[in-house]
Structure 1
Amino acid sequence: MTIAHPEAGTATVAEAEAAWLIALTQGDEEQRALMLADCVIVHGPVGNVHDRERFLDYNASMGATLKAETSNVTCQEREGRAVVTCHQKMSIRRVPDLPPFLVQAVATRVWFATDEGWRLGHMQLSRRQPSV
């Protein structure tokens, strides 16, 4: 599969998902390029509900994401919309002198087909306990 850079557009949902994981490790601008202006994100242990800009600020305050990966991915695509669910792992550098912090979540992302490619319109992240 060819992974499109966010500015080039994402022709498939799989490309959008792959571009999202890369964008998580690159920064706000790369993530913003894949999100609709009115994107809503529900996340955190207390159920934060953030708009795009507030989420990007919050995410940046947590530290740099060094690696992001998904597993158990399912996708339901219909009429210009796609719902992706997966297990997501992220290694985050919260403190420079300490090992990365592992965050595991169950993620649901809702993508919308636009003239610029697939764009994220809604995401929910629920913390996941590591398997025993």
Structure 2
Amino acid sequence: MTTSSTVAKDLAVSAPVPASAPTTVEEAEAAWRTAQTLPDPEPTLRALMHPDCVIVHSAVGHIHGVNDWLVYVGNLGRTSQVDTFDVTVQRLGTTAVVSCLQEMRVAFVPGLATFVIQAAVTRVWVQSRSGGWQLAHLQMARRLPPG
């Protein structure tokens, strides 16, 4: 277990929010799914993320900040589809926690069949004083497809 002496920042007010930031959690979720399927997802994903966002992902449990995660995504392969199931949203003031099962189709090798990745996912969104929502934390735990 790793501990940190860093004091948590007030994520809801510490970062500038782009003018195009989603005004609802549902819009933020839809924008997030759509951004992953763009030919160049990096600028759109970055705009949706709080600069201090932490991402915990992959089968080995990487923990990345925004820049390192975006490099990882850029090297992953093209994502052609993202579907979510069993979505729950908990609103806690200026914070929203979204939990879901997510299925992504990723072309690790261009021209070959896509690979299906399923994960249990939690996304934590924070709202700025101007009302826009940004991703503050993402946890993805891969799981094997049923059957």
Once residues 97 and 83 of structure 1 are traced to their aligned partners in structure 2, the CA distance between those partners, rounded to angstroms, is 36
1:78 to 89, 92, 97: 92
1:49 to 47, 63, 72: 63
TM-score, L = length of structure 2:
0.83
Please identify the structure whose Cα radius of gyration is greater.
2
Cα gap change, 1:17 to 1:32, in 2 (>3 Å): same
Deviations 1:2-21 (A, max 9, x none): xxxx8522111111101100
Structure 2 runs not aligned, ≥5 long = 1-17
Once residues 93 and 11 of structure 1 are traced to their aligned partners in structure 2, the CA distance between those partners, rounded to angstroms, is 32
What is the CA distance between 1:116 and its match in structure 2? 5.9
Equivalent pairs, count: 127
Higher relative strand content: 1
Secondary structure at 2:37 match in 1? helix
What is the CA distance between 1:128 and its match in structure 2? 1.3
**Runs of 4+ more than 4 Å apart:** none
TM-score, L = length of structure 1:
0.92
Higher relative helix content: 1
Secondary structure at 2:85 match in 1? strand
1:24 to 13, 36, 39: 36
Once residues 141 and 91 of structure 2 are traced to their aligned partners in structure 1, the CA distance between those partners, rounded to angstroms, is 22
What is the CA distance between 1:125 and its match in structure 2? 0.2
Once residues 83 and 116 of structure 1 are traced to their aligned partners in structure 2, the CA distance between those partners, rounded to angstroms, is 16
Q: Percent identity?
A: 44
Once residues 45 and 107 of structure 1 are traced to their aligned partners in structure 2, the CA distance between those partners, rounded to angstroms, is 13
Residue 33 (structure 1) aligned with residue 47 (structure 2): yes
Please show how residues 102-121 of structure 1 align to structure 2 within 5 Å: 102-114=116-128, 115=130, 117-121=132-136
Kindly provide the amino acid, as one letter, of the partner of residue 144 in structure 2. Answer: Q
Cα gap change, 1:29 to 1:7, in 2 (>3 Å): farther
CA RMSD of aligned residues (A): 1.3
Once residues 120 and 69 of structure 2 are traced to their aligned partners in structure 1, the CA distance between those partners, rounded to angstroms, is 17
Please show how residues 58-77 of structure 1 align to structure 2 within 5 Å: 58-77=72-91
Once residues 67 and 33 of structure 1 are traced to their aligned partners in structure 2, the CA distance between those partners, rounded to angstroms, is 20
